[in-house]
Structure 1
Amino acid sequence: MIVVRPIQPEDLAQLLVLAKESGTGFTSLPVNEALLQRKVALSQSSFAGTLDNPSQAYYLMVGEDSDTQQIVGTTAIEAAVGSHSPLYHYHLGQVIHCSHQLGVHNAAQILTLNNDYTGTTEICTLFVREAFRRGMAGRLLSRCRFMLMAEHCALFASIVIAEMRGVSDENGRSPFWAWLEQHFFSLDFPTADYLTGLGNKQFIAELMPKYPIYVSLLSPQAQQVIGKVHDKTQPALALLEKEGFYPNGYVDIFDAGPTVQCHLSHIRSVQTCLRLQVDISQPIAGQQLLMSNISLGQYRAVAASGSIAIKHSKVVINQATANALGVNQGDTVRVLTLL
C-alpha cells in the first residue's frame, strides 16, 4: 500500500535520488542536498504549526510503499508563493496597432513580465517514479493535496495555481529559453533552472528584458512551445483539468510552460470530498477510494478499498487501511471517489 505522509529528515537520501530522477525543468526538486534539507525542515515546521509567519508554510509529502519503505513519489503545497522570494511569470496578451487614416488594424501578441500570482497557493513538486506511474500513486499524490486543503482551508489562499513543466528536449534544452539566452542571458537553461531552484532569482531582475516582448520577434521554435507542456507532464495536467484548473495566459519565464489556476472552493475534489466516520470491518462490495485522516501534523492519505454509507455518514474500511491512516473506530476521515 502507498501511504502519503509528511516528509521526515530520514527521507533525505531518497529525496535526493528522486531529485536526480526528476530531471531538468523540475525546479522545485533541485539536486542540492543542503537546499533539500532546508525544505524538509521548513515542511516539518509547517506541519507542526510552529512557523512565525504562516504565509511561508510549505507542506512537502512523500508517497511511501508500506511494504518496502521505498519512497515512490513526492507532492507539496506552498501556502503563499512570492511572499519571501519574487515569483515571476510572463502573461500572454495583445496590443492593437491601428491607423484609421491608412486603414490598418493589426493585433500583436506580447509577453509581459509580472508578479501577478504573489500570495496565491501553489500545488507543486508532484513527481512519481517511473515504475509506479501506471497505478494509483499519481492520482493519490495529486489529489491528497485537495483533501488536506478541504480540511484545513484557512491555511491557504482563495486562488490555487500549478506551474506545469514546459517543453524541453532530452538534453534539457528549452526552445523558449534558447531565444532568451541568445539575446539577454548568456546562461543555458539547466543552469538558469538550477539557480532558480536554489532560490537565486536576482539574475532574473537584473537580466530579464524590462519591456513587453513581441511574440513575433521570437524564433519560430520558441513561439511554438508557448503554453505547451512537457510530454511527461501531460498526465499531471490532465488530472488538474478534471479538477477544474484552467490556463489564464500566464507562462513560465524559462520554458513557457503554462500556469493553471482554480478558485479553492471550485476545485472538484474540494467540492466532492466527503467527511465521514470510520467503521472498521470488512467492506462488502467495496470500491477503490482515496482517503485521508483530518490531522495536519500526522497527515496520512491512502488509496484503498472501502464502502461508503452516505445515509449513515460512514465509510467502511478494513483494519489495515485504518492502521495506515492512523485512525480508530468512529474517527473522521476525508473520502474521495475516483475521477
Structure 2
Amino acid sequence: MSFRIRAARDEDLQPLYEMAKLTGGGFTNLPPDKHALEAKLDRSRASFAREEDTLGDDLFVLILENVATGEVRGTCQMFTRVGQTWPFYSYRIGTLTQHSAELDRTFRADMLSLSTDLEGSSEVGGLFLHPGERAGGLGMLLARSRYLFIAMHRARFADHILAELRGIIDEAGGSPFWDGLAGRFFGMNFQDADQFNAIHGNQFIADLMPKHPIYIAMLTDTARAAIGLPHPSGRAAMRMLENEGFGFDNYIDIFDGGPTMTARTDRVKAVREARTAAVLTCDKDGGNQALVATGRLADFRCAYGVVREQERDHVVLDPGCAQALGVREDDQVCYAGR
C-alpha cells in the first residue's frame, strides 16, 4: 500500500472534519468546526497560489493520501510567520533570584511571564494521523515532508521555526494547567477557551490575561506538574522533533502548558540534508531509503522511496515511488535520508 503527501484541496473538508472529531480536544490547529476548517483551506489555497518567493503570512495545509484509494488519512500544516494577524503568546519559564542579607539566604523563584518572543517565527503544526494508520512510519512521513517543502521553498519561511506540542489533558477533556491558572481569570473551561481560540484567535488572551509574572509555586500541584510536558500521544512527536534538531527553550503553551520546541530553520536535519537531483531512470536495483519530494507549491508531492545516487546530480528512483509522485526521467526531485 502506497501513500503520498500532497497539497490540501477544497474537497478535503469533510475528511479533515472527520479526523478533527477524533483528536480528543486541545488540538487548536485542527478544530472540529467546519467553518474554521473551511477558512483554513481557503487560506491554504491562497498561499499555494501566491507565486512570490517572499516571506508572507501564509498557511500551507498538506494531506496524507492513500494512492490506491484516494482516501485522506492524515494532515499537517505550516505557518510561514506567526503573530501577524494577532499576537503569538507563550509563557516563558524564568527564575527570579533574591538575597536577604539579614537572613543570609538566597531565594530563587520560578516564574511564568507572558511573552511574544517567538513572534515572526515559522511554525509546523496541525499534524494528525488517522488512528487506523499509526504504523509503517506514516507519522514520520507527515512530519518530515514539511521540512522538504520548506527546503524547496526556503525564501517563504523565517530563520527560526517552532512546534507547539499539546499538553496534558485529563480524562474529562480538561487541562490541569488551564484550570490552575488562566481558567481562574476567564471564567471559561478549557474546552470552551480552546475552541474559541481555534475559531476566533487569541486576542481575548491579550484582553483578559494578567500581564504580571506568575509565581509557579502559587499554582496547584496538578498545574505545576503539567508545565512543559507533552500529552502522552505527543511523546513520539517530541522525539521526532528532537531528532530533527528542535529543543525545548523554556517556552510553553498558554492554554495547556505543553512544551514549545524551537530550532533555527537551516539547522533542521531534513532541511540541512535535503538534496536536489534529476531523475535518471527508475529500477528496482536497490539504493538508500529516503523521503522524496517533487513539485512547486500546489503541485508538491512527497513519498517514501529508494534512491540510488549517480554522478552529475542524478538519481535512480524505485518505480513505486516514481509512480506515487508522478515523476519521469529528467524531472527534478528533492530528497533526504529516511
Q: How does 1:263-282 map to 2 (within 5 A)?
A: 263-282=264-283
* Cα offset, 1:50, TM superposition: 5.8
Q: Which residue of 2 aligns with 1:324?
A: 324
Q: Which residue of 1 aligns with 2:155?
A: 154
* Cα offset, 1:225, TM superposition: 1.1
Q: Deviations over 1:211-244 (max 9, x none)?
A: 0000000011111110000000011111110000
Aligned length in residues = 337
Find runs of 4+ consecutive structure 1 residues off by over 3 angstroms. none
Name the CA distance, whole Å, in 1 between partners of 2:198 and 2:183. 22
Q: Which residue of 2 aligns with 1:335?
A: 335
Name the CA distance, whole Å, in 1 between partners of 2:194 and 2:51. 31
Name the CA distance, whole Å, in 1 between partners of 2:156 and 2:295. 14
Q: Which amino acid aligns with 1:169?
A: D
Q: Which amino acid aligns with 2:150?
A: M
Name the CA distance, whole Å, in 2 between partners of 1:254 and 1:228. 13
Name the CA distance, whole Å, in 1 between partners of 2:119 and 2:287. 43
Q: Determine if the alignment matches structure 1 residue 190 to structure 2 residue 207.
A: no
Q: Which amino acid aligns with 1:154?
A: A
Name the CA distance, whole Å, in 2 between partners of 1:50 and 1:337. 29
Q: Which residue of 1 aligns with 2:106?
A: 105
Tell which deviates more after alignment, 280-289 or 98-107: 280-289
Q: Given the superposition, is the C-alpha separation of residues 182 and 199 from structure 1 closer, same or farther in structure 2, using an over 3 Å criterion? A: closer
Name the CA distance, whole Å, in 2 between partners of 1:283 and 1:48. 36
Name the CA distance, whole Å, in 1 between partners of 2:38 and 2:183. 34
Q: Which residue of 2 aligns with 1:17?
A: 18
Q: Which residue of 2 aligns with 1:315?
A: 315
* Cα offset, 1:325, TM superposition: 1.6
Q: Which amino acid aligns with 2:337?
A: T
Name the CA distance, whole Å, in 1 between partners of 2:257 and 2:55. 30
Q: Which residue of 2 aligns with 1:142?
A: 143
* Cα offset, 1:319, TM superposition: 4.0
* Cα offset, 1:184, TM superposition: 1.4
Q: Which amino acid aligns with 1:140?
A: L
CA contact (8 A) 1:167 1:225 kept: yes
Q: How does 1:1-339 map to 2 (within 5 A)?
A: 1-49=2-50, 55-181=56-182, 183-304=184-305, 306-338=306-338
CA contact (8 A) 1:176 1:255 kept: yes
* Cα offset, 1:145, TM superposition: 0.7
Name the CA distance, whole Å, in 2 between partners of 1:233 and 1:175. 17
CA contact (8 A) 1:283 1:307 kept: no
Name the CA distance, whole Å, in 2 between partners of 1:155 and 1:182. 37
Task: Using structure 1 for the length normalisation, give the TM-score.
Answer: 0.95
Name the CA distance, whole Å, in 2 between partners of 1:174 and 1:119. 27
Name the CA distance, whole Å, in 1 between partners of 2:99 and 2:240. 42
Q: Deviations over 1:277-308 (max 9, x none)?
A: 2123213124432100042220000112x232
CA contact (8 A) 2:183 2:189 kept: no
Q: RMSD between aligned alpha carbons?
A: 1.7
Tell which deviates more after alignment, 259-268 or 177-186: 177-186
Q: Deviations over 1:198-218 (max 9, x none)?
A: 133232122212200000000
Q: Which amino acid aligns with 2:126?
A: T
Q: Which amino acid aligns with 1:142?
A: A
CA contact (8 A) 1:276 1:334 kept: yes
Name the CA distance, whole Å, in 2 between partners of 1:138 and 1:17. 18
Q: Given the superposition, is the C-alpha separation of residues 38 and 226 from structure 1 closer, same or farther in structure 2, using an over 3 Å criterion? A: same
Name the CA distance, whole Å, in 2 between partners of 1:117 and 1:326. 38
Q: Which runs of 5+ in 2 are unaligned?
A: none
Name the CA distance, whole Å, in 2 between partners of 1:87 and 1:93. 19
Name the CA distance, whole Å, in 2 between partners of 1:200 and 1:160. 20
CA contact (8 A) 1:46 1:54 kept: no
CA contact (8 A) 1:109 1:215 kept: yes
Q: Deviations over 1:141-164 (max 9, x none)?
A: 000111111111100000000001
